[in-house]
Structure 1
Amino acid sequence: MELIPINSSVHYKTAFDIHTSNEDEISNLRRTIRSWCLRATKNFNNQDLHSAWFFRGDGEQHRIGNYLFRVYVNVGNYTLENPENWIVEIIHPDREHRNRKWSIEITFSQVDRSLIRFAATVKNWMNEGYIGEIPDHPDLTTPGFVRDILNSRSITCRKGDGIVNSTPKTIRLGEAKDLFDKIISGSRYLPLVLISKHRYNSGYCIDAQNLQKKILGNANVYLLSSEKVNNEINYYLGNDFSCSFGSLRVYMPKVKLDYDKDSFRHRFYSTRYIEDLTEEQVTNDITIGLSRNARTFTTKEILTTYDVVAARRRHKIRELFASKDENEEQSEELKLLWEEVEDLSKKKKESDSLVDLYQTENEQFQQENSNLKWQISQTDQVREENTLLQRKVRVFNEMDKLPESLTEVVDITISSFPTKLSFTDRGVKSAQDYKNGNEIVGEAWEMLRKMASTLHRLIFDEKSGDLEGQFKTETGYDLAMTEGRQTKRDSSLMRLRKDTYEGNEIDITPHVKFGNKEPKLLRIHFYPDEENKLIVVGHCGEHLDNFTTKSMS
């Protein structure tokens, strides 16, 4: 008999509750799994998966082609046709790498006549003793039987207080409050993924259908149909927990709106970040987090053949103990045995409770540790800001008049924020050459100051996923981290957005914007220097040509 080795790796897992009004629903569910097996294996016929052992379980390992099947049943308080616990274990070789194998464990456990607990685990491993190159981990996909179960019309699948959806749901104007209630519900165990529209086209910032397929059974996907819907949901969520227009955000269970540091648990991605990382990588990251690494199972979950055998053994002991036919000596032995079983069961429940407690405490400690690190970083930041403030005081004390030109603003900025902002030669010259420099002195000072404080923090400290939206919210100024598609296709236009800093070519496409019509207009293009944590300004002046302005000239 081939067994699943201890060194196997979890590839996918899920578990949820199945609500039904049909007392024989577990039979229908087993037929669904059998149909999936026949489709997945393709070369099988109905007789290969003989109904007697597949439905009733015999504990034997059946080889059909390259597949090994083993089915166990615990009748429990029900019948052989509709048992309390049923599991099928499937082991088969990888189609591409002959030294890798896969296992699938699917269980149904009747809680009562109207509630069935479903759990599934997919694992893989390399053959024992294999020496050689380890193949790449395959893409994470949801097994077809999960979709088959969710699409059944006779049942409702739930996790906590939420229905497990099989397709993304679109949220329209006026529906945000209901979605907000789902997000903050204390009984929600299902992660929710909110996807907003793309900033630069009519589509969404990521392929929602593809993502939902990969996290099926483990999270629900919601589409925010317009920027107004984003604004509506953000009105309820507040700034720290918002899902800005053009971004994606994953809301884990147990959201704490009154604790701003809890916002760090709920991962978000801006359009720019998705484009830089690639949509495929973002989808893969979310899938791994929700379908492989998430806290899916309870401590009492029936997951393996050993769990079903143990449940069957416990039920048998109960039956023997309740029987009136045994003699007095057997009765006393059974009583002692049952007391031992009850004691072990009590200790197991206590252990399960401790595991839950330790897991919760561990999550709290991790959060507290993250908060302490954040406070330390804040202390360092305050110390640095104090040093900068003293430098600024010296600069302002030495000023005999307020700046009257853009050039003077740039000079003061360089002196005031030496660890935050730096200018290239071209950046300084662009300010000197700007014909409207004297018209926007106040705005220039405010924009550069906000770049040295707010923008620097968002880029290098918080590494904000929605940089553009967050900067706009905090400062009121527009920030663009990229150019339009047509501009990016024009090499002559993109050359205008190249500069040299310390002997290296830099890309100064990102820019902060003020005004759209001269003379009240200013564009500050910059390069975020990750290594030195500096915002390097390469242009501070007129509007650089883009596809639109070039077409008009």
Structure 2
Amino acid sequence: MLIYANSFWFEPTGGPAEIIDFIAKWVGQRAKSFVDGDRLAQGIRELKLRDGSTLTSNTTGNLAEELTYPYLFSAQLSHRDEMVSGRKWITEVGLRQEAAGKPVECSLLLKTDEVSARVTAPIQVTRPKLVEQLIRACRPAADTPGLVVKTLDENSAKAFLHEVERDARRYPLVLISCSREGGFPVEPERLRSVLAGLAEVVAVPSGVDTFAIEEEVGRRHMAFGGAVNVVFPVRHGNRDRFCETVLMRPDAIADLLSGGKSLESEVLAAITHRTNLPASWRHISPAKVDQAILHGRVSALLEKARGSAHAGELTEYVDLLQAADQELLSKDADLKQVRADFEAKDEEVRDLKAEIFNLKQTLSGLQADDGQDGVMEALEPLREKMVDLVSSKPTLQKVVDLMATLYPDRLVFLETAMASAKDSDRNGFKLADKACELLHTLATEYWAALMDGKGDQHAKGVFGQNAFAANESESLSNEGKKLRTFNYRGRDFVMEKHLKHGVKDSKAETLRIHFEWLPSEKKLVVGHCGKHLNF
């Protein structure tokens, strides 16, 4: 299984020999054995190390002698998995230098080899530690992504949007935002280290105005409240430009971490799923070095045969050598063409996906009489919610789901609201009908009153005398205020406005719906929908 593949350009002071020395030190540290860099550079057929791993290497030339360019080198380290029987890990490093003094291309590939289909233990995606060591020591090219963590704030929003939309960008941007408590779900520098060479890491620090940033860059390209968003390079559909994204929400990240998984590993997996295959084609593998060596030997034999005193007698053999050499070059050209065709088809598939997305966006804005197909597609989620509600016992969670589907342009239910509804249902909630009535009024008559510019004193009349409260009592403690504080898109809101029914100290027979009106978005944000919150 291909786990990781990547390529870098380095300008080490000591040329390829310096990189090979780092490879030897890295292997030695991992295997707790000494590996001679000079011997590795000359080529090792097979070296068994102290920990049971195996090291091999090959090269087109001896660094101690005058080199013939392009110079190629490859090394491969294989070792068994200490935890999973029947699995072997293989790390390959390849080098290419076109001429003396030129930058050195370095490719790395990590894969596993299983003895049979019975080896099914999950794999945590990672990258070789050698990557970070080489980046620190061997002067990577200035345009290598992921050399430093960048920051997104109000001042850099325009520059960030330009980078998002830049056609020449060939790497993802990974946004990592602060949670409501002020911390990142993973340290940005740690994430940068894992993604170096593959993606740029952009941190959205606490305290910035995420609303202002979103106004500039768009919601699709943002991350809030501890979320991580991967923004892939620009694609061009038939109608518009499009950036695919992978959004990891705070609740999903919390589940991930509680399950003992690594967030940086999951982000790396999301990126390498798209980059591994083309990167593996560029990889300077042992097979490519062997092919270059064979080509060099065939060329040398041809030159020797042509210069021989018996050239006439060797004509038949020279022709065979030439034919073999041409066959090698032809197969290599055919393979490159197949890969180019695959990349073109893959590009076409992604463009079609972008077009499908754009069409869906267009259809979502059509009026009901613009076409039955669009209407039916829009009604499908509503049908499912309605059928679910009437065919089984109503629950608070089902009511919330229905209202979120009916009024997505007016009501926003935060994860905290969903969680509180589920908690009430687990305790035998009996007021689903009342909850439906209150939420429906909130999304219709109350929302319309606020849109007309009417204040709470007038708007609350739509609920009757006792169902609405604009604020809590003056005796609200700091703890009570904290319970009523909810984070929406990076901002904390103290939601004292609430709808109420019942006074018992019972999750089954008491309902409180805390919300906040955001006039800039023309939406009501619901932070809590469930039990009575303590004062």
Same fold by TM-score greater than 0.5 = yes
CA gap 1:32/1:267 in 2 versus in 1, 3 angstroms: same
Counterpart code for 1:57: G
2:121 to 129, 136, 139: 136
CA 1:310/1:230 → structure 2, altered by over 3 Å: closer, same or farther?
farther
Structure 1 residue 525, shift from structure 2 partner: 6.7
* TM-superposed deviation, 1:71: 0.7
3-state SS in 1 of match to 2:178? coil
Structure 2 CA distance for partners of 1:39 and 1:424, relative to 1, 3 Å: same
Query: Which of the numbers 512, 515, 524 marks the counterpart of 1:512?
Result: 515
Please say which of residues 143-152 and 206-215 is displaced more in the overlay: 206-215
Letter in 1 for 2:458: E
| Closer, same or farther: CA 61–437 of 1 in aligned 2, 3 Å | same
Partner of 1:380: 376
The amino acid of 1:155's aligned partner reads R
| Structure 1 residue 269: Cα displacement | 3.2
The partner residue of 1:249 within 220, 225, 229 is 229
List alignment gaps of at least 5 residues for structure 1: 1-8, 388-412, 446-466, 481-494, 502-507, 516-521, 528-537
- Asked if 1:267 corresponds to 2:249, the answer is no
What is the identity, as a one-letter code, of the residue corresponding to 1:286? V
Equivalent residue letter for 2:102: S
Q: CA deviation at 1:274?
A: 3.3
Match for residue 452 of structure 1?
none
The residue type paired with residue 513 of structure 1 is E
1:104 matched to 2:95: no
2:341 corresponds to: 354
- Cα distance, 1:108–1:360 mapped onto 2, change above 3 Å: same
Among all aligned residue pairs of Structure 1 and Structure 2, give the percentage whose two residues are the same amino acid: 15
Q: Tell me the residue number matched to 1:126.
A: 114
Describe the superposition over 1:324-364 as per-residue Cα deviations: whole angstroms up to 9, x where unpaired.
51414154444444444444444334323212212212323
Map 1:13-24 → 2, pairs under 5 A: 13-20=4-11, 22=13, 24=14
Q: Provide closer, same or farther for how the CA distance between residues 121 and 431 of structure 1 changes in structure 2, counting only shifts above 3 A.
A: closer
The change in CA–CA distance for 1:496 and 1:226 in structure 2 (over 3 A counts) is farther
Cα offset for 1:86? 1.0
Question: CA 1:76 to 1:57, structure 2 compared with 1: closer, same or farther past 3 Å?
Answer: closer
Q: Deviations over 1:465-502 (max 9, x none)?
A: xx9449x9xxxx9798xxxxxxxxxxxxxx9794479x
Q: TM-score, normalised by structure 1?
A: 0.63
Q: Which amino acid aligns with 1:10?
A: L
What letter is aligned with 1:177?
A: K
Specify the alignment match of 1:26 in structure 2.
16
Match of 1:55 among 30, 41, 44: 41
In structure 1, the partner of 2:484 is: none
Preserved CA contact (<8 Å) 2:41 2:62: no
Distance 1:196 1:71, change over 3 A: same
- For 1:349 and 1:359, locate their aligned partners in 2 and report how far apart those are by CA, in whole Å: 15
Partner residue in 1 for 2:432: 424
Counterpart of 2:459? 440
Aligned to 2:200: 220
Q: Is the 8 A contact 1:180 1:233 kept in 2?
A: no
Question: Are residues 438 and 497 of structure 1, via their aligned partners in 2, closer, same or farther at CA, if it must alter by over 3 Å?
Answer: farther
Matching of residues 382-401 of structure 1 within 5 Å? 382=378
1:62 alignment partner, SS class: strand
Kept in 2, the 8 Å contact 1:10–1:292? The answer is no
CA distance in 2, matches of 1:98, 1:273: 31
TM-score using structure 2 length: 0.65
1:87 Cα deviation (Å)?
A: 1.0
Q: Distance in 1 between matches of 2:525 and 2:203?
A: 34
Q: Does 1:74 align with 2:64?
A: no
SS of match in other structure, 1:285: helix
SS of 1:114 mapped into structure 2: coil
Aligned pairs (5 A) from 1:155-174: 155-157=139-141, 162-166=143-147, 168-171=149-152, 173-174=154-155
Distance in structure 1 (CA, Å) of the matches to 2:140 and 2:404:
61
Q: Which residue of 2 aligns with 1:391?
A: none
- Shift of residue 246 of structure 1? 4.9
Task: After superposition, give the CA deviation of every residue in 1:268-318 in whole Å (9 maximum; x if it has no partner).
Answer: 234455345547465443221124553463475244321211122223334
CA distance in 2 between counterparts of 1:50 and 1:525 reads 63
Contact 1:14 1:217 (8 Å CA) reproduced: no
Secondary structure at 2:222 match in 1: coil
Question: Partners of 2:86 and 2:404 in 1: how far apart?
Answer: 58
C-alpha spacing 1:295/1:442, structure 2 compared with 1 (3 Å): farther
Q: Aligned partner of 1:31: which letter? A: D
> Against the structure 1 CA distance between its residues 80 and 250, is the aligned structure 2 distance closer, same or farther, given a 3 Å change threshold?
same
Q: Find 1:37's aligned residue among 27, 31, 50.
A: 27
Q: 1:420 deviation in Å? A: 3.6
- Change in 2 beyond 3 A, CA 1:83/1:26: farther
User: Secondary structure of the residue that 1:266 maps to in structure 2?
Assistant: strand
Taking a change above 3 Å as real, the CA distance of residues 296 and 192 of structure 1, as seen in their structure-2 partners, is farther
For 2:525 and 2:350, the matched residues in 1 are separated by 45
CA drift of 1:109 comes to 1.7
**Structure 1 counterpart SS, 2:275:** coil
Distance 1:417 1:19, change over 3 A: closer
- 2:188 partner letter: A
Alignment of 1:123-522 (within 5 A): 123-127=111-115, 134=119, 136-152=121-137, 154-157=138-141, 162-166=143-147, 168-171=149-152, 173-198=154-179, 200-228=180-208, 230-231=210-211, 233-244=213-224, 246-254=226-234, 262-263=242-243, 265-275=244-254, 278=257, 280=261, 282-291=263-272, 294-295=275-276, 297-298=278-279, 300-321=281-302, 324-326=306-308, 327-328=311-312, 329=315, 330-368=317-355, 378-382=374-378, 420=406, 424-427=432-435, 439-441=458-460, 468-469=488-489, 498-499=507-508, 511-514=514-517
Q: 1:68: Cα distance to partner?
A: 1.0
The aligned counterpart of 2:2 is 10
User: Secondary structure of the residue that 2:19 maps to in structure 1?
Assistant: helix
Amino acid aligned to 1:148: Q
63-72 or 337-346, larger mean C-alpha shift: 337-346
Instruction: Give the C-alpha shift of residue 249 in structure 1.
Output: 1.3
Query: Would you say the 8 A contact 2:7–2:283 is kept in 1?
Result: no
C-alpha change, 1:99 and 1:157, in structure 2 (3 Å) is: same
**Contact 1:87–1:107 at 8 Å: present in 2 too?**
yes
Q: CA deviation at 1:114?
A: 2.2
Mark the CA change 1:224 to 1:383 in structure 2 (over 3 Å): closer, same or farther.
closer
Structure 2 unaligned spans of 5+:
365-372, 384-398, 408-420, 422-430, 443-454, 465-486, 496-503, 519-523
**1: distance between equivalents of 2:461 and 2:241?**
35
The 1:73–1:428 alpha-carbon spacing in structure 2 relative to 1, beyond 3 Å, is closer
Contact 1:140/1:214 (CA < 8 Å) preserved in 2? no
**1:38 Cα deviation (Å)?**
1.2
Q: Is this contact kept in 2: 1:241–1:257, CA < 8 A?
A: no
CA distance in 2, matches of 1:380, 1:39: 62
> 1:492: which partner in 2?
none
